[in-house]
Amino acid sequence: MLIWVIGTVFKVTPTSQNRRSSIMSVCGAARCRWIQSRGAVRRILQQNRTVCSHRSGSAEGIREKLQVFPGGSIELQKQQESGIAVLTVNNPARMNAFSGSMMLELEQRVCDLETWTEGKAVIVQGAAGTFCSGSDLNAVRAIANPHDGMKMCEFMQNTLTRLLRLPLISAALVEGRALGGGAELTTACDFRLMTSDAVIQFVHKHMGLVPGWGGAARLVRIVGSQNALKLLSGAKKVDPDFGKQMGLVDEVLHCSSGEGNALSHAERWLGQFIKGPAPVIQAVKKVVVSGRELPLDEALRTERSVFGTVWGGPANLEALALKPKHK
């Protein structure tokens, strides 16, 4: 009998009972990890909370090393009236590149947004008229060995995945340049808005790299594998027209970078999608994320569960009291 275990073939004979038991144990462990992974996604989708104080053992070492490289900040402002939060990557001296401490701050800001029950949306922007130029090279050089690089990669992938899965509608407001890791950051948002003179460019190839913060996987889902291959292998500059043509950009704002009014333009554009109570907007985001990330049967179960949180709720009862007519 032949058994496949993660790409390896084992031959099991009637006299090799011990070997068969070992293989079955491996199969069981692999299936257990697969189920746990899907369960983790489902818990994120079904719950509007995260244990923010959690520190995984695998990430502790890289946190300590990232903290050694300070500079810049990640600022978060919540607008209670509109339900829109503004997350600002602030390191203008280095074109808003991420220092080590900024990577840690981003995780904390995302954690804060995960528990914002009154929120509807978040706009991610850069300070001083430019978006983000990726990683601060000082920190990159200090953790250039493969082990630390992989840990940093894992840390940022986790943070940006949590950003994408927020129960808030997210939009990247791209002014100036979004380069390398900055381009990856745009893909961790639901929408991408660009000023008329902005540029998105996946410059990783010029650095002898590929995206490591999850940008390639997300890019394929946004623009398709053919367009993603063109952008990554050609390190092509994406201006607003090209970006809109291939589906990377959702809206071109009628303003230029650094004029100071791009944020208000972005808030007005986003306003069309966040009318209504926060619980309903968050429920909409949750069912969309579940449909994107879970197998159909599980997505359907999640949708029913989320539906149950708003059925008979204040917004539903208020709408029924108005006796709306279908047009």
Considering the entire predicted model, what is its pTM?
Answer: 0.85
Which residues are registered as beta bridge partners of 86? 77, 123
Taking the mean position of all CA atoms in its chain, how far away is CA 223? 16
Token pair of 38, please?
């899907």
Token pair of 172, please?
């990247």
Contacts 24+ apart (CB under 8 A), 80-83: 80/118, 82/120, 82/267, 82/271, 82/274, 83/118, 83/119, 83/120, 83/121, 83/274, 83/278, 83/281
Distance between CA atoms of residues 317 and 327, nearest Å: 20
pLDDT in the model for residue 54: 46
**DSSP string computed for 32-82:** HHHHHHHHHHHHHHH-S---TT---HHHHHHHHHHHTS---EEEEEEETTT
By the 8 A CB rule, do 90 and 79 touch?
no
Which residues are registered as beta bridge partners of 125? 88
Largest CA-CA distance found in the chain, in angstroms, rounded: 77
pLDDT of the chain along its 327 residues, tens only? 443 433 334 344 444 445 445 444 544 544 554 444 455 455 545 444 444 544 444 577 899 999 999 999 999 999 999 999 999 999 999 999 999 999 999 999 999 999 999 999 999 999 999 999 999 987 777 787 888 989 999 999 999 999 999 999 999 999 999 999 999 999 999 999 999 999 999 999 999 999 999 999 999 999 999 999 999 999 999 999 999 999 999 999 999 999 999 999 999 999 999 999 999 999 999 999 999 999 999 999 999 999 999 999 999 999 999 976 666
Return phi, psi of residue 219, to 5°. -60, -40
Distance between CA atoms of residues 138 and 204, nearest Å: 17
Question: Position 316: which residue type?
Answer: N
By the 8 A CB rule, do 172 and 193 touch?
yes
Token pair of 152, please?
């940093």
Distance between CA atoms of residues 222 and 192, nearest Å: 11
pLDDT in the model for residue 60: 72
Token pair of 119, please?
């929120």
